[in-house]
C-alpha cells in the first residue's frame, strides 16, 4: 500500500482496465515482440503526465509488464521506472527502494547473461 496524493492506495494486484487489456492483447499479437511492452509503457507515461497525474494507473501499467515474463533488460528497466515513480509520487519509500534494488539486480543478471553468451 502507498500514499498517492494523500490517499492510501493498494498497489497489488493491479486491476487493469479493459481498454488497456484489449490494446495490450492486440499489441501482443503484432509482429514486433516488444510491442506489448511499448503499449504498456505508453499508457503508463500517458497516465503519469495527465493533468492531474493518474499515478495509480501508471503504476498498474508498469506492474502489468511483469505478467508477460519479460526479458531481463525489460524487467530491469521496468523496476527502475516503477521505483522512480513510487519515489517521486508516493510516500512509500520502502517499496520504491525495493523496485530500485530489483532493477540493479536484474540489470547485473542481464549483463552477466549477455557477457556469457558472447563469443
In angstroms, rounded to a whole number, what is the distance separating the alpha carbons of residues 79 and 96? 9
Q: Judging by beta carbons within 10 Å of its beta carbon (0-12, 13-18, 19+), is residue 100 exposed, middle or buried?
A: middle
In angstroms, rounded to a whole number, what is the distance separating the alpha carbons of residues 10 and 26? 28
In angstroms, rounded to a whole number, what is the distance separating the alpha carbons of residues 48 and 57? 8
Please report which confidence band the pLDDT of residue 78 belongs to, taking 50, 70 and 90 as the band edges: very high
Q: Once rounded to an integer, what is the mean pLDDT over residues 46-61?
A: 93
Please report which confidence band the pLDDT of residue 70 belongs to, taking 50, 70 and 90 as the band edges: confident
Amino acid at each position: 500500500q502507498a500514499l498517492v496524493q494523500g490517499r492510501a492506495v493498494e498497489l497489488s494486484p493491479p486491476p487493469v482496465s479493459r481498454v488497456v487489456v484489449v490494446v495490450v492483447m492486440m499489441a501482443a499479437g503484432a509482429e514486433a515482440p516488444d510491442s506489448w511492452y511499448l503499449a504498456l509503457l505508453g499508457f503508463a507515461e500517458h497516465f503519469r503526465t495527465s493533468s492531474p497525474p493518474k499515478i495509480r494507473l501508471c503504476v498498474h501499467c508498469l506492474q502489468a509488464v511483469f505478467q508477460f515474463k519479460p526479458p531481463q533488460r525489460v524487467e530491469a528497466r521496468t523496476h527502475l521506472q516503477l521505483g522512480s515513480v513510487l519515489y517521486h509520487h508516493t510516500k512509500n519509500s520502502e517499496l520504491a527502494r525495493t523496485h530500485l534494488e530489483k532493477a540493479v539486480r536484474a540489470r547485473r543478471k542481464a549483463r552477466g547473461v549477455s557477457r556469457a553468451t558472447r563469443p
